[in-house]
Chains A and B, each alone.
Chain A
């Protein structure tokens, strides 16, 4: 058994920032990651980091843009905290050596981004995430913070009190990929989940193969509610054949979208008469698909993104990486021809319910970054807001878990924050099929830290042994069933019957998963086993996304419903919440906070 004060699961941007913060507070902190830190998907972020740094800008404008971008589903205390902390965090990483792009006077450059009222997006070429990830990992090395790389965390060690709000998290169980060794990690102060995205629930995604929603699924099964899971961002500019992301920076620098008739459709067809290509991502994604559906798509599939007019010098200076991506993954020379693009799954606005300090309703369990929902992005995340989020809330979670004295959070978590039950009719029963031990936490009276951890370690050893010993079907079939139904039925445009189909398909996939087994008998670097366990997590998050999408009967932000073509503020300024409830999921709602100690927001029509 390993022992540390704070265990951080995942070593992308949020995890690294959290670990550094906990270390600053004097905690003995360790990072546990299924990859090596520099392999994390933060490294693929391209565009930039928003922060109000300059005269003429201030945090309140950034907060206002973020609230508007969220379509009034973000919580004011989260948004205001974020916008106030972001400048300090950005300068902090500059002090850690981040190679930002620069102005002539040597200051950090900032460029315009979609939905921003001021050019406040700092960047490092079109590979901002790569530099952010490496800069922070360097600081982890400098501080000698312990890293358990290529250890896959399979479960959380949580006490089994009946009420999730009485539960405590005492650590995690890790599987060492190289050796097959299953070990407990005792976290004396807290566990911070920073496991990133869940894009592998879809089959056309900008996300890495490793983005399987592990943190969400583990927290969900342990009793932490999932929040606004239906809010999935589809990025408007991904390469059609692979889903590789083409940064919003291209449009920020002046790139133009054309349809098959060479019309600049964002303006010519009235999708965003003011901001055009720089409207919010949800608006641009729908516009592109509307164009394709109206028969004006290129090869009936995509539109063109043209940056040739920016000139070679500017492109090489600020967007060079885009040239490489278009060339390597689509065979297109962006200096010579437009780049084909279409919407692809990009980001989960929803996730593990936390407050402004990263805390969940389970004591000692935190979440930060994409896996968390604080809620900062609400129904739509603005470009350039994900990287400052992982800095701000990664740092806050790290500080809090290490015992720093912080202001009590305004945001309430757990079932006690419930304002009403959901009465949505489901076509099939969701949740666990033949609940296994990892489905039901409350199975006894285990409350002591070590006992809880040891019990969970035994349970995970059994799970691994069973998967290795039995014969059964390959998880890859189940995974692709899930990805297909999600992309077919729970995409940009959603309608009731399709969402119900998806739930039925997911139910069948869950049933098939009970027959899954690992063909590779080896204890050495068994990726078959890892992928099989990840597929279980993909099933849980895919179902949560679909349940949320069926429940939310309105059109808000990224969530479009055929039957409900308007934002319905009287009924729907509330978060869609989903509790695992030991295998029988329960949908409910909690209020959105449009007021913080600093500001009050009035919902307005959202036009760009």
Chain B
């Protein structure tokens, strides 16, 4: 959190801590105090410039639950009012709330740049990555933040991901070529078109947004789900693997709880933060499977 935000903080503990500082100021502290003062002035100037942004705050309405803490065993929503700044993401606002108001507020996050896939949440009624969601882009004045639907809640915004991981692993999610170049210093060849074909499917960050948005997955716990099928697509379409392996992969996704369950509602494609055309990939695997079955008739 930046210095500016800390200065606007008005929690009583803050002032107590300030007064507990040692009396002697180091040059470093003086410099920082000056820097804070400058930042405060700049901020004040900015605010003057645009009076519409006068002390703007936003309110988060956050789902809370902890099975073992009194008052939290029954799910509830807590409100957090947070100073808004341009460029602020939902993750920034959650971190601010945790670090300034309630250190027990619990959510997963790590990279802050939409690649670790930790912070998929249900924000104002849809699955999004908190770090990639600009508050300015959300219409509502109050932002409602809930854990991903259709997954068991562990605590607050943290859901149990085990089922998601199990489904991913069910498709044998690893490269397994029929043969490799004999020279261990020689790469397999792959043409650009083929790399392009699998490119989008390789972008998956395992965030679970798609699975959570899928009505079929909600009703059929054994359904592989969009992410796992996309993973299968990634390998089935990679020409480096070979025809034998591809047949095995098609058999896996054709099972009872595989591709044929998809009813092409496109909800997974809509929520995917990496813009992977999940429904298209599922459809393409259906076509491949049909072609394949005809071949063996």
Report chain B residues within 8 Å CB of A474. Answer: 99, 103
Q: How far is the CB of A345 from chain B (nearest CB, A)?
A: 14
Residues on B with C-beta less than 8 A from A130 are 115, 203, 205
**Whole-angstrom distance from the CB of B43 to the nearest CB of chain A?**
14
B124 CB within 8 Å of chain A: no
- Check A522–B28 contact: CB distance below 8 A: no
Residues of A within 8 A of B29 (CB): 501, 505
Spell out B's residues near A (CB within 8 Å): 1, 3, 6, 13, 17, 22, 26-29, 31-32, 35, 66-69, 87, 98-99, 102-104, 106-118, 132, 134, 154-156, 158, 161, 165, 169, 172-177, 180-181, 184-192, 195, 198-199, 202-206, 235, 238, 240-241
Cβ-neighbour of A43 out of B28, B111, B173 (below 8 A):
B111
A597 located at the interface, meaning its Cβ lies under 8 Å from any Cβ of chain B in the complex: no
B110 and A41 form a contact (CB under 8 A): yes
A193 CA to B109 CA, complexed, in Å: 22
Report chain B residues within 8 Å CB of A131.
Answer: 202
Q: What is the CA–CA distance of A528 and B99 in the complex, to the nearest angstrom? A: 10
**Closest A residue by C-beta to B201:** A99
Given contacts A94-B187, A104-B192, A107-B187, contact A521 B115 (CB under 8 A): no
Residues of chain A within 8 A of B68, CB atoms compared: 522-524
B110 touches A522 (CB 8 A): no
Chain A residue at minimum C-beta to C-beta distance from B2: A203
Contact yes or no, B240 A97, CB < 8 A: yes
A87 to B1, alpha carbons, bound, how many Å?
42
Q: Is the CB of A329 within 8 A of B104?
A: no
**Measured CA separation A53–B141 after assembly (Å):** 56
CA distance A65 to B126 in the complex (A): 49
A424 CB-CB contact with B under 8 Å: no
Assembly CA distance A101 to B198 (angstroms)? 12
Residues 79-100 of chain A, each 1 if its beta carbon lies under 8 Å from chain B, else 0:
0000000011001101111011
Q: Are the C-beta atoms of B66 and A108 separated by less than 8 Å? A: no
Residue of A nearest to B92 (CB): A242
**Segment from A136-144, A383-391, A397-405 that makes contact with B:** A136-144
Chain B residues with CB under 8 A of A108: 187
Complex Cα distance, B114 from A127, in Å, reads 12
Closest to A139 in B: B174
What residue in chain B is nearest A35 (Cβ atoms)?
B110
| Cβ distance A518 to chain B, nearest Cβ, rounded Å | 8
Does A135 touch B at the CB level, under 8 Å? yes
CA distance A104 to B241 in the complex (A): 19
Partner of A127, one of B134, B198, B203: B203
**Contact between chains at A38 and B99 (CB < 8 Å):** no
Specify the chain A residue showing the minimal Cβ separation from B169. A141
Cβ-based interface call for A469 (8 A): no
A contact residues, range:
35 or more
Contacts of A528 in B (CB 8 A): 103-104, 106
CA distance A485 to B27 in the complex (A): 12
Chain B binding surface SS class: loop
Q: Which 5 A-B pairs have the closest CB atoms?
A: A97-B175, A501-B28, A106-B189, A520-B104, A138-B174
**Once the chains bind, are A210 and B110 in contact (CB under 8 Å)?**
yes
Question: Do the beta carbons of A97 and B195 come within 8 Å of each other?
Answer: no
A11-66 contacts to B (CB < 8 Å): 35-36, 38-41, 43-44, 53
Report the minimum CB–CB distance from B217 to chain A (whole Å): 20
Distance of A130 from chain B, by nearest CB (Å): 6
The number of inter-chain residue pairs (CB within 8 angstroms) is: 191
**Segment touching B, from A254-262, A266-274, A289-297, A476-484:** A476-484
Given A208-B111, A484-B3, A488-B32, the answer on whether A524 and B66 have CB atoms closer than 8 Å is yes
| Separation of A108 and B26 alpha carbons in the complex (Å) | 55
Q: Is B22 in contact with A329, judged by CB distance below 8 angstroms?
A: no
Expressed in whole angstroms, the Cα–Cα distance for A130 and B169 within the complex equals 18
Least CB separation from B239: chain A residue: A106
A489 touches B28 (CB 8 A): yes
Contact in complex: B26, A501 (CB < 8 Å): yes
The contact of A209 among B112, B175, B206, by CB within 8 Å, is B112
A525 within 8 A of B: yes
Residues in A with CB closer than 8 Å to B172 are: 142
**A125 at the A/B interface (Cβ < 8 Å)?**
yes
Is B104 within 8 A of A96, CB to CB?
no
Decide: A97 and B110 in contact? CB cutoff 8 A.
no
A-B contact pairs, 15 of them (CB 8 A): A40-B116, A101-B195, A106-B190, A124-B202, A138-B174, A139-B174, A141-B169, A208-B110, A208-B111, A489-B28, A520-B106, A522-B68, A522-B69, A525-B155, A528-B103
Q: Assuming A39-B111, A39-B117, A488-B32, what are 10 further A-B pairs, CB within 8 angstroms?
A: A87-B185, A97-B238, A104-B192, A135-B175, A209-B110, A242-B87, A502-B28, A505-B28, A505-B29, A528-B106
Given the known inter-chain contacts A125-B199, A480-B1, please indicate yes or no for A95 contacting B28, CB distance below 8 A: no
Q: Does A570 contact B (CB under 8 A)?
A: no
Task: Give the distance in Å from the alpha carbon of A474 to the alpha carbon of B188 in the complex.
Answer: 53
CA distance A107 to B134 in the complex (A): 40
Residues of B within 8 A of A102 (CB): 190-192, 195
The answer to whether A504 touches B110 (Cβ under 8 A) is: no
Closest to A502 in B: B28
CA distance A81 to B184 in the complex (A): 18
Whether the Cβ atoms of B112 and A521 lie closer than 8 Å is no
Min CB gap A59→B, angstroms: 12
Which residues in B have their C-beta under 8 angstroms from that of A485? 28, 32
Task: Tell me if A241 counts as interface (CB < 8 A to partner B).
Answer: yes
CA gap between A245 and B186 in the complex, in Å: 32
Q: Is the CB of A477 within 8 A of B154?
A: no
User: Please, which residues of chain B bring their CB within 8 A of the CB of A87?
Assistant: 185
1/0 per residue, CB under 8 A from B, across A115-147: the answer is: 000000000110100110011001101100000
Q: Are B174 and A142 in contact (CB under 8 A)?
A: yes
Contact of A298 with B by CB under 8 A: no
Distance A480 CA – B161 CA, assembled complex (angstroms):
31
Determine the chain A residues whose CB is within 8 A of the CB of B32 once the complex forms.
484-485, 488
Q: Is A330's CB under 8 angstroms from B206's CB?
A: no
Contact A91 B186 (CB under 8 A): yes
Task: Check if A565 is an interface residue, CB within 8 A of chain B.
Answer: no
Chain A residues contacting B28 (CB-CB under 8 Å) are: 485, 488-489, 498, 501-502, 504-505
State whether the Cβ of A73 lies closer than 8 Å to any Cβ in chain B: no
